[in-house]
Amino acid sequence: MLFARRLVLVLLLALLSLAPTRANPMLLIDMDNFNVLHAQEAGQPWHPASLTKLMTAYVTFEQIAQGKVSLDTPVIVSKNAFNEAPSKSGLAVGSALTLQDALYVMLVKSANDISVAIAETIGGDEAAFVGMMNDAAARMGLTATHYTNPNGLHDPAQVTSARDLAILSLYIRQNFPQYLPIFGTEAVVLNGKTLESENKLLTSFAGTTGMKTGFVCASGLNMVATVERNGRRMLAVILGGSSARERNERAAELILKGLTGAAQPNGQTVLALGNSPGATPVNMRPLICGKEAKAYVAAQEAAFPMGLEGQPSNLTDTIAPNPYVATDLGRIAVGISLPRPRPHHVPVFTAPVAEASLAVELRPGLIPTPAGTTPFPRPRPDFSR
């Protein structure tokens, strides 16, 4: 009997060894100096899924800084927005949120309808807003990135890379730090329903400050995560996870290696990393949603069992939730002035001088860039020397 069980186990392991496995893009950055602590296929073109919403947010922050919209601008759910595939806000056609609440619902719940509603509010229509997204990507030097929609629903032409996502995330943190609490929020309450983030590090990995997750079949499970502990600040990008467990555990493991010194600088900064021009974007659909999915997930679990039942986990902290409460303004007429009811715990965003965050100028620690481009994010000065 014991021999038979061992034989079954050996045969099972042999079958798993024949299943397809992938070493997908992973990137770890020290946010204080932009040093690369780990890089694996960082320039490989990849479908961003809902990590697209990082750029949707950045363009929105730019427009707020320019005074073209405000946090109290009404965002109305059009029929076009309502018809987007899930995940969604649950709002009806014609319902409205303030732009501030819309940003929370978009970034925390990853609501595809609200992403389009924001794009239509700011750009006039979705296509015009997508043009603004691609303009921002070009100014940032995101050479692997191209957008066709503001929410990340799959389009073969919508691509990015781990390197580009890291730089975009650093831009958000440098130019618009007042909005970082949105990325670190684990839940939004809207019409009595709690809309939870898929970033489980926020509630189970101490020091997590954001930022975003994403999933479509073609991308697998993606994540950008930022963590601050003991004076260190880490940013991890994980693309193509076979499950939420794998994505979350790999991000936490990578960050721990940075925090403990197990991962050391490789001599490059994220700004010096190259993309892979001409490379074909990876399509994970057959392995994630196709007939090969069961074998692929089993193989990935065998290769990386962290967090499975009976296995150790990096996600063992308990962090009390602090949900944000959004207000459904109902059906409103465009252009009216809106009173803004706010629960007592709602953060107040104080924006810097409007043009300061957009100006192209050389400042201490800034990477020189050609005229007409956006300066790279600035590493924090090293005061230890």
Spatial strand order of the sheet with 36-40 comes to 36-40, 26-30, 232-241, 220-229, 208-216
Q: Is 355 exposed, middle or buried (0-12, 13-18, 19+ CB in 10 A)?
A: exposed
Q: What angle do CA 335, 61, 337 make, to 5 degrees?
A: 20
Q: Which of 50, 89, 115, 357 is catalytic?
A: 50
Question: What are φ and ψ of residue 35, in 5° steps?
Answer: -65, 140
Catalytic status, residue 110: yes
Alpha-carbon distance 71 to 83, whole Å?
25
Preceding peptide of 211 cis, ω within 30°: yes
Q: What angle do CA 258, 259, 265 make, to 5 degrees?
A: 35
CA dihedral of residues 373, 375, 376, 382 (deg, nearest 10): 170
Q: Which of 95, 110, 169, 242 is catalytic?
A: 110
How many CB atoms are located within 10 Å of the residue 198 CB?
A: 20
Alpha-carbon distance 131 to 151, whole Å?
14
Q: Which of 53, 88, 109, 200 is catalytic?
A: 53
List the catalytic residues: 50, 53, 110
